[in-house]
Amino acid sequence: MEQMEITTEMISKRVQKVKNWTSPGSDQLHGFWLKHLISLHGKMAQQFNEMLQKGSISEWLTTGRTYLIQKDPAKGAAPGNYRPITCLPTMFKLLTGIIADRIQDYLEEKNILPDEQKGNKRKSRGTKDQLLIDKMILENCKSRKANLHMTWIDYKKAFDSLPHSWIIKCLDAIGISKNVGTFIENMMEHWKTELFVGNESYGLVNIRRGIFQGDSLSPLLFIIAMIPLSTILQKTNLGYQTSKNSHKISHLMYMDDLKLYGKTETEIQSLTNTVRIFSTDINMEFGLDKCLTVALKKGKIIESEGINMPNGQKIKCHQPEAYKYLGILQLDNIKHEHVKTVVSKEYTQRVRKILKSKLNGGNTIKAINTWAIPVIRYTAGIINWTQAELDNLDRKTRKLMTIHHSLHPRSDVDRLYLPRRSGGRGLLQVKQAVKEEEHALAEYVKQSEEPALIEVKNQKLLKAQQTKNQYKKTALQTRADSWHNKTLHGKFLDKIEGKADKEKTWLWLTNGTLKKETEGLILAAQEQAIRTNAIKAKIEKSADDPKCRLCKETDETIDHILSCCKKIAQTDYKQRHNYVAQMIHWNLCLKYHLPAVKNWWDHKPAKVVENEHAKILWDFRIQTAKVPEDNTPDITVVEKNKVWIIDVAIPGDSRIEEKQQEKLSRYQDLKIELQRLWQKPVQVVPVVMGTLGAVPKDLSRHLETIDIDKITICQLQKATLLGSARIIRKYITQS
C-alpha cells in the first residue's frame, strides 16, 4: 500500500457519512457543522496529513467518553448491571473513517479479505450470506443423508481481548503503508476513555487491549487481525462438500461469530483445535458455556461426547435446546417454526408499541417500516414462510391499526400499501417485503462469483423468476389498478381525474403531519368507507332513510355532508373556510410588514389594516357607483399600483375546476368597477381547495401571484382537511 495522503476531496466525501446530531465526544462537535463548513476541509486535510507524516496524535482526539447506563435499577450498583455507551470525538471518527476507507480499498484491490469473513465486507449481504450458505449446507446434508459435524465458537469479550501488538503485526503482514501503520500504532498507545455515571466522572481508563468501539476503523482492525485464522483453516483442506467435486467449506465468520464444518469427528476436532491454538496465541478465550458442537450421521443428529479442551473442559454436545446463530435458531437444521413464532411475536409487539405512541400519521408508518418490518425481512430467504403466514401477519397489522384508530375498518387495503406520493399510506406489506428480499437475494446470489454462494445457486435454494425491481414494479402497479377500479374506493380518483394536480393533491400525505387517526379518517372519507345514510341504504341495503340527517333534502353522501348541506353552511363550512382565509391574511400581513402574531392560528384578521405599503381589507363590502352583485371578497389587497381580489372556496373535490372558474367570473363586475374608480389594474385570485384535499392545477400559479411565502399548499390542505374531519366526526357516526 502506498503512503497515504488525505485530500480535501476525501474529507468532503467522508463527512457526508457522518451523522448530523449524534452525541459527540470530548470535542463537542456535531457532524452537521463539518458538512456545512466546507471552507475548513482544506485546513483539516493539512492537519490530518501532519498527523500521518509525524505519526503523532493529540490525546484529546483519542479520548472517549464512556457513559455507564444502569440496566436494571432493582439490581443496584453491581458492575455487571451497567451498559457502557462510548462517545468518540467527531474529528477522530472522521479521520479514522477516511483511513478505514483507504485500507478497505487496498484490501479489495489485493483480494486479501477471505470469503469466509463477511463482517464489514462491501457489496456483500453480511449475515445473510452466512445464513444462506449455512442453510444450504444443512439442507444438502439432509437430502444427501451425509455426515456432518459442526461447532459454534463463541469468544469471551472478543473485542476487548485482542492485543494491540497482534493488530500491528497483521497490518504489517498485509502491507499497510508505513505512515498509516505508524499512526495506528501511536493511536492505540493513546487510546483511553473517561468513565461517567450520570454527570459524575470516575476517571480515565487506558485501553491496553482490544479495540475502540464506535468508529469505522476499529472493526476493520479486528477483521484484519482475524485474517490469519481464516488462512490457517483454509490450508487444512478440511470441511464439508456439497458434492464430490465441490468447494470445501471449513468455516464461516461474521466478525467474531465463528462456525466450523467437518465431515468427520476427527475433522471437527482438528478444526476446533486449530482455532483454539490460534486464539490462545493472541490471548483470546473461548466462552465455553456458549460454545456448542453437534454431529449428524446420514443426515440425522446423533449423540457425541463433545470436544475435549486441554484444560480438562469441553465443548458440550448439543442440548435439547438449539443454538442461536446470527439471530436464527438452529441445530441439525433451522428451527423454522420456532423462529416464525418468535419473530412474529416481536413484530406485533413493535407494531403495537408504535401505534400506542403519539407519532403523527407519516411517522407512524415510517416507524413500522423501519423498526417492525425489518424483524420479518431479516428472515426472508432463510426461513420458509408460507403465503398464508405472511398474509396473517398483514391482517394482524391492519387489525392493530384499526384497534388504535389509525385505519378505518372499511378502508381500502390496496391503497394502504401504495407509496404516499401516489395517494397511498406507504406501509410496507409484510408479504411484499419478504418477497422483495427473496428476489434481491436470488439476484445477488446469481451474480456472485464466490464459490460458496455459487453452491447456494446450484442447490436452487432461492427460486425467483424476476429481479427485485421487476417484482416491486408489478406488485405496485397491480395494487394501484385494483384500487382505481373499485367502485367506491376508487371514486375519489375518478372525481379528480383531469381536474386536480395529483402530485400536489397528495402533498398532505407525503408531508404526513396529520394525526394517524385523522389521516385514517380522511382516507376513509375519500374511499366512501364512512357509513353515511346513503351508503347504509344503497350499498348495505338497510332500511335507513338515505336522506341527509340534517337537511332531509338530498341523499347523505360524504360530498353532501362536507360541501352541500345548507344546514351547516353558515357554521361549520364557514369556520373551515375562515381558517384557510385567515392563513392567507396572516401571510399577507407579514409580507407588507403589518401587525401579525407569531403563529397563523392565533391570528385574528381585522376588517382593515394598512400602512405605507398596502391596505388589506377582510370580508369588506366595497362601495362602488355601480353596485355589483358580488362586492364582498374574502380579502382585498390594495397596493399603490395594483389591487388583488382574493376569494377562498372549499367545494367538493369533483367541483374544484368549476368553482375556480366561477370565482373568476363572479368578481369580473367588481374588477371592472374598481379599475374604473381607482385607476389601477385589478386581478382576481381564486384560492380553491377540495374538501378532501384535491388541489386545482392552477392553485400554485394563483398563490405565486399574491406572493405568499410563509404558507404552503400543504398547510392550506391541512387546515381544510382538519375542518372536514371535524365535520365528519361531529355529524356522522363512524360505525
* Domains of the chain with CATH codes: 1-115+164-208 (no CATH), 118-161+217-334 (3.30.70), 344-524 (no CATH), 530-566 (no CATH), 572-732 (3.40.91)
**First-to-last C-alpha distance (Å) of the chain:** 71
pLDDT digit string, tens, across residues 173-208:
999 998 899 999 999 988 999 998 888 888 898 988
Residue 327: Cβ-neighbour burial (10 angstroms; 0-12, 13-18, 19+): middle
- How many whole angstroms separate alpha carbon 30 and alpha carbon 718? 34
By the 8 A CB rule, do 680 and 642 touch? yes
Rg of the chain in Å (alpha carbons): 34
What are all long-range contacts of 230-239, with beta carbons under 8 Å and residues at least 24 apart?
230/114, 230/116, 230/117, 231/114, 232/274, 232/278, 233/116, 233/260, 233/271, 233/274, 233/275, 234/114, 234/116, 236/270, 236/271, 236/274, 238/262, 238/263, 238/267, 238/270, 238/271, 239/263, 239/267, 239/271
Angle between helices 164-174 and 178-189 (to 10 degrees): 170
Q: What pLDDT band is residue 163 in, cutting at 50, 70 and 90?
A: very high
Residue 91 pLDDT > 60:
yes
pLDDT of residue 733: 65
pLDDT of residue 59: 86
pLDDT digit string, tens, across residues 207-234:
889 888 888 999 999 999 999 999 999 9
Residue 734 pLDDT > 50:
no
Q: What pLDDT band is residue 104 in, cutting at 50, 70 and 90?
A: very high
pLDDT digit string, tens, across residues 405-424:
999 999 999 999 999 999 99
For the record, the C-alpha cell of 106 comes out as 487496498
By the 8 A CB rule, do 101 and 174 touch? no
Residue 321 pLDDT > 80:
no
Residue 328 pLDDT > 60:
yes
Return the HEC string of 86-118: EECCHHHHHHHHHHHHHHHHHHHHCCCCCCCEC
- How many whole angstroms separate alpha carbon 638 and alpha carbon 371? 53
pLDDT digit string, tens, across residues 667-709:
999 999 899 989 999 999 999 999 999 999 999 999 999 988 8
pLDDT digit string, tens, across residues 452-469:
999 999 988 888 788 999
pLDDT digit string, tens, across residues 617-626:
999 998 887 8
Average pLDDT value over all residues in the chain: 92
Across 494-510, average pLDDT: 94
- Residues 6 or more apart whose CB falls under 8 angstroms from that of 58 comprise none
pLDDT of residue 600: 92
- How many whole angstroms separate alpha carbon 322 and alpha carbon 329? 6
Q: What pLDDT band is residue 320 in, cutting at 50, 70 and 90?
A: low
Q: What angle do CA 551, 556, 562 make, to 5 degrees?
A: 85
